[in-house]
Amino acid sequence: MYFKLMNGRETYLEGMRELLEERHHQVISVDAGDRVDPVLNGGLETPVEVWMELIPEEESGPENHVVLTDYGCEMAGGLKRGKAVLRACGKTFLFRALMTLVRELEKRVTMHAGASMESYSHRENVYLDKNGIMLDCSRNSVLNVETIKKYIRLQASLGMNTMMLYTEDTYEVPEYPYFGAFRGRYTREELKECDDYADLFGIEMVPCIQALAHLKTALRWDVMQGTRDTEDILMVGEEKVYDFVKACIRSVSETFRSRRVHLGMDEAWSLGLGNYLLKNGYHTKAEIMTEHLERVTDICRELGLEPMIWSDMYLRMNSPASEYYDVPLDTDLSGAVKPPKEIGLVYWDYYHADEEFYKAYLHMHRQLSDKVVFAGGGWVWNGLAPNFRVAFSTTEAAMRACKAEGVREAVCTMWQDDGAETPMAAGLPSIVLFAEHGFSEQPDREQLKEQFEFLTGSSYDAYLALGEFDAVPGSREYDNPSKYLFYQDILLGLFDGQAAVAEKAMEGSAAKDGNGASRGNNLDTYYDLLREKLQDLAGSEAAVEDEILELYIHLADVLSVKAGIGNRLCAAYKAKDMAGLKKIANEEIPSCMEKVREYKRCREAVWDKESKIYGFEVLDIRIGGLLARMETAQRRLLAYAGGRIDSLPELEEERLPYRPVKDGEERTLCSCNTWRMIVSASPV
């Protein structure tokens, strides 16, 4: 289709062009002689004329926190002309209105010719004045500039007007050349390019750094001597530390338009218990945090910045066990230790499905600060696959609580724990859900499905099925069997005992294929059926059109062989079934290795498209190590079956469950999201 912006050319035209041309529509100027093909324009002889208007500040009361779309078609001079008026209380919200209009027009044109002539009107309330995502660019995957721009366009289409880039040491600090070295850190020019691009759509890019803890990769270098309390926490009180912190804050303040900055300061578990303790003696965390925040706040005042930090350290001060979520829900924190008044608190919580819990914690936060931001979770950090059952249950409860409590700013965090094994794009359903909660009291599945498929061109149901990799019968909440069954050693099998318990519990019910035929019930079968399901949902062109779905089809293919191979080996070895061992060595292991190579090929392709190359070496080493150990297993099995060695001690070791299961317990699986804990019981 063809669109013509009738007002605000300088303000809206370039962003409009970026969004519409990505969908193969054209923004034209008839006055400049551009010609319109009425067939391509949905039966209209002129472009759709679009007025984009901000609701004036004097009309900015609660009743005007809205996004309005009005479209009609008229005859003028013998020509059919479509006209749309888009009004909203924020620039980014106008782009949401634009894409809502485009979605409706595309749908009508697709249904039947001339349908685009029908009038259309749509109204949405704005529940979050600031609504966005936080992209983790510190756990090895440093998203490249083009990927960040893609997420900026996605956010604009969804009406999400805040983007936080979480960068522990992956941004440039000129005074510290080792900071982010070999990590794919962003240059200042790259970040300015992203910030400029976000500004086209009215999106505020907020730098999210660390000014206390989570600095292990930065503090590893010898040049940081004298700045360490522990291996990942800065030494509070040292002047070298404040020179460093000021350089970090100044670097991002000079790069981003926003005057807001997120300083992190979360999970400083051992604050004051390392070199600080040796030098200064024991001081409470409250004393140390207060001292440090005063110094850092002074730096922000000097630079004209509005700082915020994660809230957990302040809640821990009021916890009986120094935990975050065990503070009694009726606790009065009005007299508790508070951060400086300039400091906003970001309440992060990705774990509760109880709306009342969130309400109580939001109330406690407001007793500590009048600047409270909520951070929920997209759950792309569970292992190899997203965990949508937790992402959806926690987001639903949290967003209801935010609306009930009048919280007007929230972000969806997309962490990449333990090496970014799940591609960021696999979590797109979580982002769409979070966004729709900003404009709906309660978005329904059809609403989410339509929005997702319009914006991505992929199957919503197929993406939701990615959440089934860790939803194996016997799993609960944060369990991630797909990761440990993928990585665990074939001969050592640290999780074979757990898998055996789970499969025993699965024996009572037979899994069925798409035609209702019984397929037995074990882990191999579960993943083979999941592979078939993904292929069916994705469609025959999945391998060409959607790299994410192709990747997970291959992961299911790997697990359809590897999930149970360790226990089959143990059974054959115990029975002295030499023919069975040879079959596994000569047929199953080579087949599994080929499937792993295909998965690795796809994962590298997705990484190359999504991120800078730095950090992929870790996945290369992990998957390469898996293949090397499979070669070793094959060699040792054949040596034993051929009589060249007398025994395989690895297969004689009792297969203990990683997490012991009590009699009658329905949960038979477990969680382990640390690669080094999966591949060996020895230090790695």
- pLDDT score of 258 more than 80: yes
Please name which of 396, 393, 382 lies closest in space to residue 427, comparing C-alpha atoms: 382
Model confidence band, residue 44 (pLDDT cutoffs 50, 70, 90): confident
Task: Report the domain count for the chain.
Answer: 3
Q: How many CA atoms lie within 13 A of 316 on its CB side?
A: 18
**Structure tokens given for 111:** 């249904």
Task: Indicate the pLDDT class of residue 624, thresholds 50, 70 and 90.
Answer: very high
Does 74 lie in the same domain as 102? yes
pTM beyond 0.75: yes
Answer yes or no: do 119 and 134 share one domain.
Answer: no
- Does some domain include residue 521? yes
* Across 434-445, average pLDDT: 96
- Alpha-carbon Rg for the chain, nearest whole angstrom, is 28
* pLDDT of 521: 85
93 contacts 161 by C-beta, under 8 angstroms: yes
Per-residue pLDDT at 60:
66
- Structure-block tokens of residue 677: 């804990």
| Nearest partner of 523 among 553, 486, 478, 494, judged by Cα | 486
Cβ distance 580 to 638 under 8 Å?
no
* Burial of 598 per CB tally in 10 Å (0-12, 13-18, 19+): middle
Residue with tokens 């005992």: 497
pLDDT > 70? residue 519: no
Specify the pLDDT at position 666.
94
Helix 388-405 with 428-436: angle, nearest 10 deg: 20
For residue 80, the SS3 value is strand
* Residue 219 shares a structural domain with residue 326: yes
Residue range 526-555: average pLDDT?
Answer: 86
CA–CA distance, 312 with 346 (Å, rounded to integer)? 9
- Cβ-based burial of 524 (10 A; exposed 0-12, middle 13-18, buried ≥19): buried
Place of tokens 């006055």: 31
Give the model's confidence band at 542: pLDDT under 50 very low, under 70 low, under 90 confident, else very high.
Answer: very low
pLDDT exceeds 80 at position 606: yes
Banded model confidence at residue 18, pLDDT cuts 50, 70, 90: very high
Confidence of residue 182 (pLDDT cuts 50, 70, 90): very high
Q: Is the pLDDT of residue 456 over 80?
A: yes
* 165 and 46 share one domain: no
Is residue 682, in this structure, part of any structural domain at all? no
Owning domain of residue 136: 130-457
Q: What is the CATH number of the domain that holds 540?
A: 1.20.120.670
Work out the pLDDT band at 31, boundaries 50, 70, 90: low
The token pair at 204 is 């505020």
Among candidate residues 81, 97, 125, the one where a domain is terminated: 125
Range with lowest mean pLDDT among 50-64, 103-117, 280-294: 103-117
Instruction: Give me the pLDDT at residue 310, please.
Output: 97
Residue 476 lies in a domain: no
Q: In sequence order, what are the residues at sequence separation of 6 or more whose Cβ sits closer than 8 angstroms to the Cβ of residue 218? A: 168, 169, 178, 179, 180, 224
pLDDT over threshold 50, residue 544:
no
Please name the residue that has the structure tokens 């500039």: 145
Section 563-576 average pLDDT: 97
Q: Based on the fold, state whether residues 430 and 504 are members of the same structural domain.
A: no
What pLDDT, in 10s, does the model give residues 408-427? 999 999 999 999 999 999 99
Q: What are the two backbone dihedrals, phi and then psi, of residue 118, each rounded to the nearest 5 degrees?
A: -70, 145
Considering the domain architecture, whether residues 177 and 98 belong to the same structural domain is answered as no
The percent of residues in the chain predicted with pLDDT above 90, rounded, is 87
Distance between CA atoms of residues 546 and 604, nearest Å: 14
Query: How far does CA 481 lie from the centroid of its chain?
Result: 19
Q: How does the average pLDDT of the chain come out, rounded?
A: 94
Cβ-contact 505, 474 below 8 angstroms: yes
411 and 488, same domain (yes or no): no
Beta bridge partners of 410: 131, 374
Say which CATH number the domain at 365 has. Answer: 3.20.20.80
Q: Which parts of 271-313 are beta strand (E)?
A: 306-310
Looking up tokens 């016997």, which residue turns up?
474
Whether residue 349 contacts residue 390, with contact meaning beta carbons closer than 8 Å, is answered with no
Residue 642 pLDDT grade (very low, low, confident, very high; cuts 50, 70, 90): very high
Q: pLDDT band at 34, cuts 50/70/90?
A: low
Q: Are 267 and 233 in contact (CB under 8 A)?
A: no
Q: What is the largest CA-CA distance in the chain?
A: 94
* Residues 142 and 223 both lie in one domain: yes
In the chain, the amino acid numbered 263 is L
Q: 468 lies in a domain?
A: no
Strand partners, 85: 51, 70
Please provide residue 362's backbone torsions phi and psi, each rounded to the nearest 5 degrees: -65, -40
Domain membership of residue 683 (yes or no) is no
pLDDT at 385: 98
- Asked if residue 375 has pLDDT above 60, the reply is yes
Mean pLDDT for the stretch of residues 350-361? 98
Nearest to 256 by CA among 164, 328, 179: 164
Is 475 within the bounds of a domain?
no
* Distance from C-alpha of 191 to C-alpha of 198, rounded to nearest angstrom: 10
The bridge status of strand 409-414 relative to strand 372-377 is: parallel
Which of 391, 422, 457 is the last residue before a domain boundary?
457
Mean pLDDT of 510-537: 82
Residue 543 has what pLDDT?
A: 42
Question: For the domain that residue 120 is a member of, what is the CATH number?
Answer: 3.30.379
- Comparing CA positions, the residue from 541, 614, 611 lying closest to residue 150 is 611
Q: 80 vs 218, which has greater pLDDT?
A: 218
CA distance 550 to 555: 9
Domain boundary among 457, 492, 516: 457
74 and 155 co-located in one domain: no
The DSSP code for 56 is P
Do 107 and 147 reside in the same domain of the chain?
no
470 is a domain residue: no
**Intra-chain end-to-end CA distance of the chain, in Å:** 57
Let me know if residue 431 belongs to a domain. yes
Q: How many angstroms from the chain centroid is the CA of residue 239?
A: 36
The string of pLDDT tens digits covering residues 81-99 is 899 999 999 999 999 999 9
Stronger pLDDT, 118 or 311, i.e. the higher one: 311
DSSP 3-state of 271? coil
Do 166 and 98 fall into the same domain? Answer: no
* Token pair listed for 313: 């350290």
292 lies in the same domain as 353? yes
Q: Residues of the chain with pLDDT > 70: what percent?
A: 95
* Consecutive H or E run containing 162: strand 162-166
* Eight-state DSSP code of residue 143: B
How many other C-beta atoms are found inside a 10 Å radius of the C-beta of residue 642? 12
